[in-house]
Amino acid sequence: MRQEYGAPGPAAGHGAAGPGVQAPPGAPPAARPMTLDDVVVRGFMTLITLIVTGALAWALVPVDLALPVMVVALLAMIGVWAFITFGRKANAPLVLAFAAVYGVAVGIISHAYNDVYHGVVLQAVVGTALAFAATLAAYALRIVRVTPKFVKFVIAAGAALVGLMLINLVVYAFGGDGGIGIRDPDNPLAYVFSVAAILLGCFFLLLDFDSVEQGVRAGAPEKFAWYCAFGLVLSLVWIYLEILRLLSYFYAARD
């Protein structure tokens, strides 16, 4: 979701016709540049939408319908995600629709985990909040700097991680017991993989923070705040689901 913007032109803060010159009657007003507050407000709106639909799915979807509802929600989520990502169109209806359908899937997944490992969801939520705070602090204090090399590394690592998950799914589907081991709680490789996935989610958060900072600094249009909110929620849910899975391994080992 990272997008660069050049330096703001004369329209930024002075009107479309330049400083001290009135725009012609009927001319559209200059787009207001994005602010950090815009990102915060839209980010909360997106996250709250996801939480509300997740809670409704948790409470209202019966067990016998959980799987088909989750599959439909995931397919809808992928469709909206692809439209936003490849169509480069992020606005309130699209981003909130994405959050709503994704929330349904996350709510059903969370309920399933909590039924087996009581209390694991609350722990995963706390872990996600701590990971977000630590990542934000690392970015604000410049402990980790987002450079072009870092961006390339994170994107390559993300593609490799998704590729491994797809390979694992294919092997598992064709009868491979435990797949290639990256999701098998009896295999130490699963712990390593989940930790790596959590770290990668934090790295994507760093890219999101950098996109917000660069967008505000360059005078990106206000609508870019929806792209930022979209990316932040994607990264947060990735971290949450991976923490949830990692904690479930420890619960399973204890039992």
What span, in angstroms and rounded, lies between the C-alpha atoms of 109 and 114? Answer: 9
Task: Convert the pLDDT of each residue in 209-250 to its tens digit.
Answer: 999 999 999 988 888 999 999 999 999 999 999 999 999 999
Query: How many residues are there in the chain?
Result: 255
Task: Convert the pLDDT of each residue in 173-200 to its tens digit.
Answer: 887 677 788 888 888 999 999 999 999 9
Task: Convert the pLDDT of each residue in 52-98 to its tens digit.
Answer: 999 999 999 999 999 999 999 999 999 999 999 888 888 899 999 99
Angle between helix 120-140 and 188-218 (nearest 10): 50
Give the Cα-Cα-Cα angle 192, 195, 200 (nearest 5 degrees): 125
DSSP state of 90: -
- Other Cβ atoms within 10 Å of 8 Cβ, number: 15
Q: Cα-flanking dihedrals φ and ψ of residue 138, to 5°? A: -60, -35
Contact 148, 155 (CB under 8 A): no
What is the model's pTM? 0.85
